[in-house]
Amino acid sequence: MKSRAPELEFELVPLKTRGDKLLDVSLAGFGGKGAFVTEFHKALFDGAIDIAVHSAKDVPWQLPDGLDLWASLERGDARDVLLVKKGQDPDKMKVVGTASPRRELQIRELFPVQCRLLRGNVPTRIEKLKKDDYDGILLAAAGLERLGLTRDEELDYRYFTVDEMIPAPGQGIIVVEGRKEDPLRELFEEICDRKSFMELEVERFLLRRLRAGCHEPTGVFSRIAGKKIVIWLLTESGGRVRRGKLEGPVSERFSLAERLIDETQSCGR
Q: Which residues are catalytic?
A: 58
Q: In whole angstroms, give the CA distance from residue 164 to residue 158.
A: 12
Q: What does the radius of gyration of the chain's CA atoms come to, in whole angstroms?
A: 19
User: How many CA atoms within 13 Å lie on the side-chain side of 49?
Assistant: 18
Torsion of CA 236, 240, 246, 251, to 10 degrees: -40
Strand-pair partners of 139: 81
Which residues lie across from 69 on neighbouring strands?
177
- CA torsion through residues 75, 162, 152, 137, sign: positive
DSSP string, 54-118: EEGGGS-SSPPTTEEEEEEPPP----EEEEEETT--GGG--EEE-S-HHHHHHHHHHS--EEE--
How do 219-225 and 174-179 pair as beta strands? unpaired
**Which stretches within the chain are classed as H helix?**
18-21, 38-46, 101-110, 122-130, 141-146, 184-189, 194-210, 253-265
